Structure 1
Amino acid sequence: MYSIIVVPPPTTEDRTGPQQLRLAPGERLTFGRGAACAVRIPHEGVSRRAGEITAQGAFWALSNLSGRQTYVVENPEGAGEHIKVGPGRLEAPVPFEFSRIVLPAAGDLIAIDVWAPRHDYLRADGDIEGTTTAPAFSVDRTKRYFAVLAALCEPRLRGEPHAPLPTVDQVVERLRPNWAAASRTSVQWNIDYLAVKLRLKPGPEEADPGPRLNGKKESLVSLALRFDLVREEDLVVLTGSGGAAR
């Protein structure tokens, strides 16, 4: 069964060929200006054998066969997320489900889309005995602290990865439609609580309070987005249909 789908760029010479190429695990596909490439890109700025895509089960790897150009692999859904694959790098793993290889070509940028729709998951084994593993981060999406965290993460989840974080006053205004009693004090209390809950600082029962945590909001948002504690679909808690419970 195939695991990777490659969508050639519109600059490919053969417009009558397949619009999508499917690769099974272990299969390879070359692209470049040369006639022997599976995806031929007739552009003078593209190397004759520019690169190679290798299907690896639920992900894929990119080999940059160019001697000079760095390729960029973008995540179109990742708000600017990307990786760089330098000249001569072989089989660099690409972690994105939807990817776009961008080739710099004599003033032009040529894109090849690669999809990795296959998702493999571990199946729970009911025969394993013992206590269950404690979750790394335990959050309740019905609580107000989660709504505060979602409001802090919202600008960057909306496609602005470098957006400044909202101020406490802006968070209060964002939450007020679903939380009429929201105030600077209550929002700041929830931010302090999140810092303890997500283990960015010791709890009140600890004898050593630890160093002062500067950039608390930035640390919370960075942690939440890095480990997917808040996703774009979670922003529903900020709307009237999915407000956080008391």
Structure 2
Amino acid sequence: MSGIVIHLPEQGGGAAVTLRLGPGERVRFGRGSARTPIELRLDDESVSRLAGEIRATDDHWQLSNLSATHGYLVENPEGAGEYLRVPPRRVGAPIPFEFSRVVLPSRRETPLSFQVFAPDHVYVDPQAPGGGSWESRTLTAYSLDETATYFLVLVALCEPWLRDRSPVAVPTTPQVVERLSGPGAHPGLTARAVSSHIDYLADEKLRIAATPAADGSDRAGRRNGKREAVVALALKFGIVREEHLALLPPRAEPAERGR
């Protein structure tokens, strides 16, 4: 089982932050100070110096709310409004969602939040017999949730191959955003969110080895290579199939695109 990925979007002109935790590792978050070291800094005066802690376990993650006054929300962006509240001083609250958004109270107009991708949720092979001990059961090699947004992104990346069989190139991130927008589609899906889902698929779900680069000049090439590797593996092992195309929103007609 993999660890967790924590992603803090850009805030106040600062760069985005991505942290990875293995089982048993922890990250403290808050405003921080010289005497209060933290690993995930949240620049907001309404956040405590030491606001909380995230700890990764084998199959989930835990959130400790170290604030004495404020409760925190953990939202499931995939769950149609599903969320749980972690009250002040609650230690080690287990979070069951595979993809979460942690929201802290703030004086800002937009909520202060960061994302957590949970440890890999493991599923029993649907073709395996029901009897026997847990140790004897067969697990799926690639355990993906077909109701999750990251899987929808994966289907959009694979769509040209499944429909045409001979596409010129893998869809770009903006093309995926455009494909998943419109009526009945996933609301508010940005290019940055799509890139995060692709990273999660490549690094955690499909476990594709990263391609090293000598410097940052080849960043675009590595991004394209990651998308191509994700699509190749998903099609090669039948992770995405033609029936999954039904998950995508209806394709816009040419006349509608020109409006």
TM-score (norm 1): 0.48
Bigger radius of gyration? 1
Structure with the larger helix share: 2
